[in-house]
Amino acid sequence: MDNSAPTQDSDIWFEDGNIILEVEKTLFKVHRSILATHSPVFKKIFDEQSQFYQSPTTVPRLTCYDKAAHIKLLLQGVYNTTSFEGKTQCDHLKEAAGMIIMGGKYGVDFLFQRAVKNLSTIFPTTLDKWDQHSQSLVNSLISVAEQVDLIHALTVARVTWILPAAVYGCFAYRKPEEILASKFGNAPSMQTAFLLLFVNHVRLCRRGVSFVASLPAQDCSAKNECDGLTRRFYLDTLTWTSNDPLGFTSEESKKFKELVNQLCSKCSDKCSQAHKDSREAIWSDLPKVYGIGGSWAELKASEGNVASHLQFLAQVKNTASR
């Protein structure tokens, strides 16, 4: 067991502060008024035990059962309300899960909303926007463990419309063993659920090449050749190991282009169209495949208002201001 004494945070320690937050092994000396202005939860704590917190002789301590890094994010947010605004979409990806968790728990709306806005552009609701965005950039910025934490935070906060793309990105571009080796720090019970979702995702992968079933085209001008080419292509796909049914690896892309070029013109058109349609169908099914909701339309209905979550926040505020 770690018996070392907690130490002062190097950044957030105001000599004229009147409350010390103790989190894990870190101490933050801050101001009750600043916390109470931005957080109805802190306001409530200070109001309810005002005698204790207004002691003239000692600076009172409050223990928070959070991660020190998360509390630090919250404090950086309330002391500098323009922080985390972000110049680019990915600027604060690393902090996003913490902002969602802290913003939700302590009722700091703007922190929560800022993270949601940020994430909504990285994990879009349409295939067009998904195609415009580089998911490999996402993977280079956050670790698997951070990605899993983020998905968990979004699930708890019910930010459902961001989830399908976030889960897809994790399953499609991370190695399964990497995902399973991650500690599921905030929610060990999530591991089983995640495994089941991964199985659904792997099933989805075969659908990525289901377009070959539409070949040869009815008006094909070279049935034997086109049939042969299609069969050989399909057999080859059985050896593919990518988990990204919405995209081809460069090698797969080369083979797909070869197929399209070698087919007769009717089959070539049919093949391109069927491939496009199958991607649309896969995207459209993501909410259902991952058990997040019935359809994109259903998820999008709560986009931007975070309905159930903000209702919860409002309740906290009402009790706090009573």
CB 260, min distance to Zn ion, A: 11
CB 199, min distance to Zn ion, A: 36
Contact of 278 with 205, CB cutoff 8 Å:
no
CB 275, min distance to Zn ion, A: 15
- Using the minimum distance from each CB to Zn ion, give the nearer residue, 74 or 259: 259
Handedness of CA 8, 12, 17, 20 (dihedral sign): negative
Report the C-alpha gap between 117 and 124 in whole angstroms: 11
306: left (phi over 0), alpha (psi -120 to 50) or beta: left
Report the C-alpha gap between 149 and 139 in whole angstroms: 14
CB 219, min distance to Zn ion, A: 8
312: three-class secondary structure by DSSP: helix
- Using the minimum distance from each CB to Zn ion, give the nearer residue, 153 or 226: 226
- Using the minimum distance from each CB to Zn ion, give the nearer residue, 191 or 268: 268
CB 222, min distance to Zn ion, A: 5
- Using the minimum distance from each CB to Zn ion, give the nearer residue, 251 or 277: 277
- Using the minimum distance from each CB to Zn ion, give the nearer residue, 138 or 220: 220
Kindly state the greatest CA–CA separation across the chain.
93
Contact of 259 with 216, CB cutoff 8 Å:
no
Residues interacting with Zn ion, by CB under 5 A?
A: 216, 220, 226, 264, 267
Instruction: Determine the length of the chain.
Output: 322
SS3 for 103-123, per residue?
Answer: HHHCCCHHHHHHHHHHHHHHC
